[in-house]
Structure 1
């Protein structure tokens, strides 16, 4: 079969122009703008790909597979509104990794070339761009391609010259053999792992790099430190020291490279080794709980408000939250000259989550517990490590109505972030989404450090839906804000928190005016056991429920696990938000005359000691039954033409609904997993292994219930799906079972596509398959 295209009404919603990149510099009067790429073609997806150590590497360019750059970069002066293109760039060039120098006097970026990334830069005064060295940067492991260490000097990784020919051809010298370690530990079903000694050699070849310092003003270049497989380097705030993570052999065949054995090093500004902090074995045997961690030191980072103080955490419970422990984690630190023993710092009752630095007497850390969905925000005193932390917020993260928001930060010119304070450092700033029964209303509050008093400074008010993004670093009265309405797409502004003054940054038009007047209703309904359910009902323009003829309906959902039924029913959207139509969503079918019940509630509740998965099948039936009955009751749905679908975990749900209900005329399952014995060490929110609860794994496998699937099922899957657990074989085996059982099914495998689909041809064909399946048109 060749690639097909859906009806024009649906196809017209596919290749819409994406929003450009907006990127402020330290001088907040200047903003870099660059156009984002649209969908790649299938030919672009056919670029070479090496699947190694959990990565997909393009061997021609030493970059992660599939990366695509921006184009048409330009600088806008907000004082005048003038936009000036960057100069002397290659015609039709694409670029990535735009970065401002600390003072904002220079912009550095990379040019994509057929043979790799090339470093470029320009002064912001002239915008005259120049290249620096050949196209030989090594970004095989992803992450930052370079970092400014001063206004003119950047640090970057380059390939090792004269390292010999790539070991492309495997020479078979014997079998590939692995032994067990004798240690208990669980790994999810990682993809693209090393499989052989040849893989080891290829990974070593493409991952090994040499760090260089490049002076963008003078062109001077010099090597820095020793070559190796360097997965990360981060400078201290004063730029005098660096912490580096260097991967060591032997490489693991069980985990991706981020969990390989490694060395943690402290280096000086010249790249000389000051101290080897620790050598860690491969993290192959992490305990089962979701908040379990390795027992070795982890999470190395610089204290942002100190010139050079390096922190890390060490589990106090062996990394396993099933063990009794007064404290789960403890921080340790070192500072120049980095000799002596690590100094103990704050102990954390729960698992270490995040830190926001402020000053010697002010830092915020978050620790958490998965079992009871608990998250605690605490204030502590970094310069007084023995002083106990004080609780600011102690919340259940499923309780959206009582979410206090997040403490905001600003980025300093040394590229390290600190807490945003107001009123001479006496108050912090909180920003949140503001969920509530009437819909979400984002807000900005101040938090008085001494008293804990909270004062609201700003809040979105209907009929607008406005939301803060971030505060401007050196002008903290100003914040970046989005604004939208039901029929007006998001545009972006700078707003002064105190005066209300605004500067409009964008003026985007409605991307699909043909659907501007479609109807959106936020439905509320109950399932049989009293759990509150909700969903977004979209109907075509002019449709009036109860007066117009009932419509074919396409229902789309993704299950969510909860420990509390009441919290599962909370409102987490706003009726004033703009309806974005992604071609990967169900909404394009609104243009074809369908009603679309999008994101209809699919909570799976396991209260107390009960695990949600013990009643997964029963609860998805209850959720779907309540939704279908509501649509029929309203006069929206033609009962004979209701279809259900989902992607990934939503596909898993779809297969179960067809096996265990007779509510639907058909189903569409994209990139799903259907045999849970192929994901034996957990999936989604399931922490238990197959050997602990084999009956649960078997019961939850739609493959086992294939004989009960009587409604037609369309299976779509990317042939290169690298997502954990959703191997293409999942769809292949379910289709084979349905075929042998005499069921009505269709399997569409999309060449070169991953878990989500990228190429324009693939997306159009996917929509054609879905439209054909639900309208029963002949190919």
Structure 2
């Protein structure tokens, strides 16, 4: 009897625990109307311009999908997430309508004949812009559709044959044919999972170091390997404008394909075994083959080995060729780069990288084009006498760009830009590009003058500009610049001297629209689009960019939003939601720079904190949280101290302005911002509450580096320990809400991060709530998930921030 009573008591205890756990569950909730109205606001069409800019494509996207759509079958293998029913990416949210708008007349034309249930993507123009093609994703496959831009009518071109699980799948040829990566017609039915495993799953190392990031969704067993090979199996097809199909080359696991500018050769990447259980598909071995247009193999350019054993550090890379591409200014010339340091950034070597070229018919030897002292970061081509090569070094944030002469590789490169990649105030921008005779993008320039667009960083915020940059004198001549109280940037240059161009113009409460600007004709800019403001309910909110100092004198900034009509000093201070994302810098001067624009349109995305301005809160958004480590010191050596100093300075600023109530301030962030939030609650009592979404909280689970931290756990164990909120869960006294997508696909932010952190908080008696959103990734997309997330946040803020005084009275 005693044993039975004991068992019954244990059962009742277990039942009580189970019931308590179940009672914590909930159906999807909806936030207050002021929030739901904003989140359900219609999206603005996206725009793509024709080559000459005489017309634009208006693409209307569908709203967020339902949780039913998000819950469709999803296969997670080799770092990919695919829909096995379609042989395409899972959770595809496509375009639902397409229109043509004439730039000069303003006439708007509806494309007719579109699919009845449109889910369109992969939109591409033919070289002569007489046609456009797009993919249409349906429940059981992906078809190809053609639009005749003379009649503005669409027709279905193929059945559901497109294989879109990896890389690009559709290319136009110069003679208006299509090269399509199709599902191999003979691949058969999907492999059946064995009822029992054939044996154990074994991995083995032979003593060679193989440090890797913590990737998600890797292959786990032989069946996964079989599935990966099955879904990658593709056949290249040539398809004409009538839909006639012709196989090109042999089928295989086609990773990517790229057509030479003259259309005569194809570069095809073919994945091969052995696969890996340690790294995703983009690091599997593959052959780079050159084919003729007819599909005959001309040359195996290189055989890329499995990339499991890369040295540590963000400046590390692979040995052998990489960045294999076609020169944009030549008919059929390949170029690539090869590391000379074994891919190891710790090796001291003068010529760290060498760029090579090889011209058709690819029977000769590779030719040395240029060298780099840092990591090669790409080339912008102009012609055979002029190109701009980029080099970068992430450890020091070094960004170097140099002019090279492709026709004379022995001519020394000329450095034209040498700056910190974080330095906004001294960023001359990027070259304006135009299409050449091959339909490829090349630099727009006149002799030594390169046309550039820059974000225009300044102490007043970003004021974008269009300029010429003299590569001989390194002098800028600003041709046009955004003017307050607007935030305006160049979207497309229309002529050779950049005197006519299209801009995107917006202000705090004016929806971004496209404008035609001509600086020579002295005509007033003309508005091309009239997109409505989807957020009329917050049109009157107040926005200001504020700057203030940290306790060490470092300048900081934030953007503050307050409800319409609020007057500091006259009205009572408001509850505050502070939203931030910390960033690491190697220079105090650069860290102090103002980022963003106070004149940018107040856009409300699902993850924005701005919803709560409708609920009577002040919002402190883009609150700068710089972490600085100069010289030999790494930023993260000072992470906690500087993070706390940043938060203290921000709180003092909003309180001193008469806007915020010091006792009613919440802090929040997403991803690394969630990590920041948990750290602030671990090491301070500055806040009334915290909200952490999709974060990582235990850095020993990401031991080979994270964010900008390049040292491994074994090289800096104290840094990993001290930066982990998990290590200090016992010190958290502030209520914290944890939200996480249950299918998070981001490296390092495994859902278990939130689960284990919550258990640690719970074990030490903290006030915490953990919410997992089913089927959501690192970013959230289902309507139900987003509305529920906002409801959770609103409920938390109302209870622990706005009404904290009433809560304290009841306690």
Output the TM-score relative to the length of structure 2: 0.93
Give deviations 1:108-166, integer Å, cap 9, x for gaps: 1112221111111132112332222211210011x333010134200001111232321
1:196 matched residue in structure 2? 221
Q: Deviations over 1:723-764 (max 9, x none)?
A: 000000000011111112111110000011001111111111
Root-mean-square deviation (Å): 1.7
Question: Which aligned pairs between 1:265-414 and structure 2 lie closer than 5 A?
Answer: 265-412=289-436, 414=438
Deviations 1:690-726 (A, max 9, x none): 1111121111111110000011111000000010000
Indicate whether 1:589 and 2:616 are aligned.
no
Distance 1:740 1:604, change over 3 A: same
- Give the one of 550, 572, 593 matched to 2:573: 550
Counterpart Cα distance in 2 of 1:500 and 1:351: 45
CA-CA distance at 1:643 after TM superposition: 0.8
**Separation in 2, partners of 1:496, 1:265:** 47
Structure 2 residue matching 1:12: 3-state secondary structure: helix
What CA distance in whole angstroms lies between the structure 1 residues aligned with 2:163 and 2:304?
Answer: 24
Work out which of the residue numbers 186, 204, 214 in structure 2 matches 1:179: 204
Give 2:122's aligned residue.
97
Q: In 1, distance between residues paired with 2:89 and 2:439?
A: 24
The answer to whether the 8 Å contact 1:50/1:59 transfers is: yes
Determine which of 422, 438, 441 is the counterpart of 2:463. Answer: 441
From the superposition, tell whether residues 543 and 225 of structure 1 become closer, same or farther in structure 2 (CA, over 3 Å).
same
The structure 2 residue matched to 1:511, chosen from 517, 534, 549, is 534
Check if 1:158 corresponds to 2:179.
no
Q: 1:646 to 1:449 in 2, by over 3 A?
A: closer
Q: Is the 8 A contact 1:103 1:151 kept in 2?
A: no
Instruction: Please tell me whether residue 207 in structure 1 is matched to residue 205 in structure 2.
Output: no
* 1:238 aligned to which of 262, 267, 290: 262
Deviations 1:348-400 (A, max 9, x none): 12210121000111000111122221111100100111111011111112221
CA contact 1:681–1:689 (8 Å) conserved in 2: yes
Q: Distance in 1 between matches of 2:314 and 2:354?
A: 19
Give yes or no for contact 2:111–2:153 (8 Å, CA) kept in 1: yes
Q: Is the CA contact 1:411–1:473 (under 8 Å) kept in the aligned structure 2?
A: no
Deviates more, 1:297-306 or 1:522-531: 522-531
Check if 1:602 corresponds to 2:628: no
1:582 and 1:588 in contact (8 A); partners too:
no
1:559 aligns with 2:582: yes
In the alignment, what sits opposite 2:23? none
Equivalent residues of 1:405, 1:430 under 8 A apart: yes
Report whether the alignment pairs 1:643 with 2:663.
no
How many residues are paired up?
774
Distance in 1 (alpha carbons) for counterparts of 2:789 and 2:153: 44
Matching of residues 133-144 of structure 1 within 5 Å: 133-141=158-166, 143-144=167-168
Asked if the contact 1:410/1:473 (under 8 Å) is kept, the reply is no
- CA distance 1:452–1:568, change in 2 (3 Å): closer
Query: Which residue is equivalent to 2:31?
Result: 6
What residue in structure 2 maps to residue 679 of structure 1?
A: 702
Gaps of 5+ in 1: none
2:107 paired with 1:82: yes
Q: CA deviation at 1:668?
A: 0.5
Tell me which of 442, 449, 460 is aligned to 1:418: 442
**Aligned to 1:691, what secondary structure does the other structure show?**
coil
After superposition, what is the alpha-carbon deviation per residue over 1:483-521, rounded to whole angstroms, capped at 9, x for unaligned?
Answer: 012221211123235435544321122222221221112
Residues 209, 441 of structure 1: CA spacing in aligned structure 2 closer, same or farther, 3 A cutoff? same
Would the alpha carbon gap of residues 86 and 521 (structure 1) be closer, same or farther in structure 2, given more than 3 Å must change?
Answer: closer
Per the normalisation by structure 1, the TM-score is: 0.97
Rounded Cα–Cα distance in structure 2 between residues aligned with 1:380 and 1:556: 44
Query: CA shift at 1:27, angstroms?
Result: 5.1
Contact (CA 8 Å) 1:311, 1:334: kept in 2 or not?
yes
The aligned runs of 1:35-74 (5 Å cut-off) are 35-74=60-99
CA distance in 2, matches of 1:774, 1:741: 22
Q: What CA distance in whole angstroms lies between the structure 2 residues aligned with 1:135 and 1:478?
A: 43
Distance in 2 separating the partners of 1:388 and 1:330:
14
What is the distance in 1 between the residues matched to 2:408 and 2:115? 54
Farther-moved stretch of structure 1 (293-302 vs 88-97): 88-97
SS at match of 2:787: helix
Task: Write the deviation string for residues 272-293 of structure 1: whole angstroms up to 9, x where unpaired.
Answer: 1111111111111121121211
Contact 2:381 2:387 in 1 (8 A): yes
Q: Tell me the secondary structure at the aligned position of residue 398 of structure 1.
A: coil
